[in-house]
Amino acid sequence: MLEDIDHVGIAVSDLDASVERYRKAFGVEPVHRETVEHQGVEEVLFKVGTSYVQLLRALGPDTPVGRFLERRGEGVHHVGYRVTDIRAALTRLRDEGLPLVDEEPRPGSRGTTVAFVHPIGLDGVLIELVQEP
Amino acid sequence: MLEDIDHVGIAVSDLDASVERYRKAFGVEPVHRETVEHQGVEEVLFKVGTSYVQLLRALGPDTPVGRFLERRGEGVHHVGYRVTDIRAALTRLRDEGLPLVDEEPRPGSRGTTVAFVHPIGLDGVLIELVQEP
């Protein structure tokens, strides 16, 4: 069911400063930048092997990432797993009794289809399922 | 410098219960289990694509993961990146002014060589560099 780690999503306060830090420290270059209004974030992706590192800026304080930053400060916000069939994956997790954030898949960045699974069922880790276009 | 995401390390309170949850929810099977005394953890690894998901149990309250659990509760403890030359990577990060936890590489699990980079320099994310055997 899990094909790979798609990305690690990191909430940051100053996106441009963090992008510069990653570029300089790790020698990586951004491969994608996108504002996802309905998720309340602007994201920058770095390709690392078969996965991405995703830096996330909140579009405002009253967004999921904004509230995360207020509550916990900068850090890992969620882990994204690549799946081939997001509907089948959601059905399986629902059948296993895991609380879902998204009962139905919805559009993510890069043309992906995504769904979040609640951290309460998974050791405090917010999980995002990602099906590529 | 960063070859891939080696693993996502997740601090959990009840390792066996979490392993069972991952097995049932995601249909993954543990590929490795090891106690790393000098890091104060017992770990279980699941292979996901080219990376691992690492569940971590603290061997006691006065360990890095024990203190993390006390302070923040369960959740993502660190992100591990695979590198081919850990000494060169450490030198680069030191030259870029990033605070290091480990000035010298040391033995990790699975026969790897590892070094931690302090979260203060990287948006609150504790980074582990991992060189495979």
Q: How do strand A127-131 and strand A75-82 relate by DSSP bridges? A: parallel
Of B18, B48, B75, the CB nearest to A5: B48
What distance in Å separates residue A74's CA from the closest CA in chain B? 5
Per-residue pLDDT of chain A in tens (133 residues, 90 and over written 9): 999 999 999 999 999 999 999 999 999 999 999 999 999 999 999 999 999 999 999 999 999 999 999 999 999 999 999 999 999 999 999 999 999 999 999 999 999 999 999 999 999 999 999 999 9
Name residue B61's amino acid: P
A85-114, pLDDT tens digit by residue? 999 999 999 999 999 999 999 999 999 999
Percent of chain B past pLDDT 70, that is, above it, reads: 100
Partners of A121 on chain B (C-beta within 8 Å) are: 21, 25
- Extended beta strands in chain A, E state: 4-11, 30-36, 41-48, 51-58, 75-82, 106-107, 113-117, 127-131
Q: Which residues of B24-59 are buried (b: 16+ CB within 10 A; e: fewer)?
A: ebbebeeeeeeebeebbbbbbbbebbebbbbbbbbb
pLDDT value at position A55? 98
Kindly list the residues of chain B whose beta carbon comes within 8 Å of any beta carbon in chain A: 1-5, 8, 10-13, 18, 21, 24-28, 48-51, 53, 55, 72-76, 79, 81-82, 92-93, 96, 98, 119, 121-125
| Alpha carbons within 13 A on the beta-carbon side of A7 | 26
Interatomic CA distance for residues B58 and B41, integer angstroms: 5
Could you give the 3-state DSSP secondary structure of residue B3? coil
Q: What integer is the mean pLDDT of B85-103? A: 96
pLDDT value at position B43? 98
User: Which band of pLDDT confidence, cut at 50, 70 and 90, is reported for residue B21?
Assistant: very high
What distance in Å separates residue B107's CA from the closest CA in chain A? 22
pLDDT value at position A70? 97
Partners of A96 on chain B (C-beta within 8 Å) are: 24-25
- The two tokens of residue B34 are 């090891």
Checking ipTM against 0.90, whether it exceeds it is yes
- The two tokens of residue A122 are 């998974």
